[in-house]
Structure 1
Amino acid sequence: MTEVSGSSSRFSSGSKGTFGTVPVQHTIESLAQRINACEEENDVLTRELSVQREASKQLATAHFNHLTKEIAVVKGEIAVVRGEIGAIRDLVGKLCQTVASMEGMLGNLKDESDFTPKQKSFLSGFFGRGK
């Protein structure tokens, strides 16, 4: 009795007779060899697939880490812009208060003759008054 073993299969050929014109034992041994070759190729392909999966996983992780860092940078830039917007709002608020104060002072003046020529020049350019 002849035994042919593969990576995970075990075939035993002990039958006598023929399969068509080929002896049965020869046919069984030939099939066993082909199955073993297929199992070896499957093992090789499985290892290659495992390597490719690991490489893909590492690449995806690297991309994810890079994007996470980029997002953190953008969030930081957004925070800076928000701070600048807040500072601009504060300045605009102060400017509005100053303009309102100046308008109030102008409203309290009874006569534009109270202005000096320099003040009149400034006011004509700034408010369109004091001519």
Structure 2
Amino acid sequence: MTIDWLHFTPWPALAGGALIGLAAALFVLFNGRIAGISGLLGSLLVRGGEGRGEKALFLLGVLLAPLLWQVFAALPAIEFQGGWLSLLLAGLLVGVGTRYGAGCTSGHGVCGISRLSPRSLVATLAFMASGFATVYVLRHGLGV
């Protein structure tokens, strides 16, 4: 494995990770809830759910953050290497995996592991292993 040092940008990645951690910590501190995006979004779809306002504002912040970023720097170009069918299938599989795993990478990987949750550690390891296996099969098995 080689690193493309010309395009290696650790500082923006570190800043982004710190901001995600800060947002998750503030959300749990002020609301007592885990900032798992799939759980927040799913609870907005349930009638009469508790704390809908703060959940909606948190998700709105997630969506508006790239617009705020554009004030300081250009956003990277969005590039899909697969077609729309593969993108749709990937989204469907992520959605099914999120329901089956009782949470997503933000809930388990960011919030759960920071709380030392064994269930979240296992879920995150399963997410990562599935991702590694999928990339290996697609690139080395199917040649995609």
Higher strand share goes to which structure?
1
Question: What is the TM-score when the length of structure 2 is the normalising length?
Answer: 0.24
Question: What is the TM-score when the length of structure 1 is the normalising length?
Answer: 0.25
Greater Cα radius of gyration, structure 1 or 2? 1
